[in-house]
Amino acid sequence: MELFNIKECDIKGKKVFIRCDFNVPMDEYGNITDDRRIRSALSTISYCLDQGCAIILASHFGRPKGEPDDKYTLAPIARRLHQLLKIEVQMAEDVVGESAQKLASELKGGEVLLLENLRFEKGETKNDPELSAALASMAEVYVNDAFGVSHRAHASVEGITQYFDDTHKAAGFLLQKEIQFFGTLLDRPVRPFAAIVGGSKVSGKLEALINLLPKVDKVLIGGGMAFTFLKALGHDVGNSLVEDDLLDEAINIMDEAKRLGVKFYLPVDVVAAEKFAPDAMSRLCSVQEIPHGWMGLDIGPATVRLYRQVLADVQTILWNGPMGVYEMDRFARGSNKIAHFVADSYATTVVGGGDTADLVQRVGLDEEITFISTGGGASLELLEGKILPGVKPLLK
């Protein structure tokens, strides 16, 4: 996909609206615990500053219910941007109200304004044309650098692009990098190419799996979704998470992998627990011996060894979805072991954002991965072969 790039736009001295993804994790005291998404936007912001632009930054944070909520203010983001850019970052009290309009109209070249949380406006997630027009009226150029929300047809992502012609809208450096990286990964991977697919449900990864099968050499399944495949093969998986309506689809996927000559691997052992709780009684067992009424919450050591052997000769690894309930330390061991092996691999390693990116960051391996996507849902839709709503208006 060829996108209009920010370098192809005449932005010198202009007022630029940059849609960013500053939806970062914070602790209960409002302190940012991982600023990777903020740092990822700095190259685009700095480039615009070098061009003498007046910059209006916009982002959502959390899930406010379409109205102002102090819990979801972007004030901590403004403070972190000030620390990273080493210049003053003005903060609007609203999104398109009196404060935002006044500050935007007075903004001069070399200055930065951050609007308040976009989702304080009900029209943002509804792709409301009035909100799109109000946002667009603040600037002369629109730049999308928010890969993490580009799969959403929201007012600041898709709707706003209708108010700028092709010479005044473009992809930022981060968005361009994400699209190009996944394009190369799927079209011209260095082989052997393995996909590690985990997470809780098959339904969330179904289309991605179907689209990946003709492109990969090996598929390794983990997480809760593995039990739908195991049950489809006739195993008694106890009370493990299973999507019974997808058992036939699971068989079809495995049959298609066999037809294409793709090696398809499922766990051979699990850490099973009597209930979904960090203090639950647990034990290691093979997938054929899960106790009645118990549930599998992590892959076991034999599966870890098997997956290490399977990955030993691959040249490209794509990982989307943890291998177990990594948020609970007792059921994070399998995911952590795989993370260390992927990080130590000589292959090109790609982590598909979301929970997997969080997992890799938790174990301190984010610097060892070739590429970590900033968007879980967006990267998944790319893997499904879709053109994202926020990307389509920027295509050449």
Annotated catalytic residues are 37, 201, 354, 377
């108010």: which residue's tokens?
163
Strand partners, 143: 18, 170
Write out the H or E segment, with its range, that includes residue 249.
helix 247-260
Please give the single-letter amino acid code of residue 35: D
- Outline where DSSP puts E strands in 7-116: 15-19, 54-58, 89-91, 112-114
Half-sphere exposure of 376 (CA within 13 A, CB side): 15
Alpha carbons within 13 angstroms on the beta-carbon side of residue 162 total: 15
CA 158 to chain centre: 18
**Which of 199, 205, 243 lies closest to 224, judged by CA?**
199
Rg for the chain, CA atoms, rounded: 23
Rounded to an integer, what is the distance from CA 177 to the centroid of its chain?
14
Which contacts of 104-109 are long-range, i.e. CB under 8 A and separated by 24 or more positions? 104/15, 104/56, 104/138, 104/139, 105/138, 107/15, 107/54, 107/55, 107/56, 108/54, 109/13, 109/52, 109/53, 109/54
Q: Tell me if 374 sits within 8 A of 353, measured CB to CB.
A: yes
205 in Cβ contact with 380 (< 8 Å): yes
- If phi > 0 it is left, if psi is from -120 to 50 it is alpha, else beta; for residue 119 that is alpha
E-only strand ranges, the chain: 15-19, 54-58, 89-91, 112-114, 141-144, 169-171, 193-197, 218-221, 263-265, 269-273, 282-286, 295-299, 316-320, 348-351, 371-372
Task: Report strand pairing: 282-286 vs 269-273.
Answer: antiparallel
Strand order in the sheet with 269-273: 282-286, 269-273, 295-299
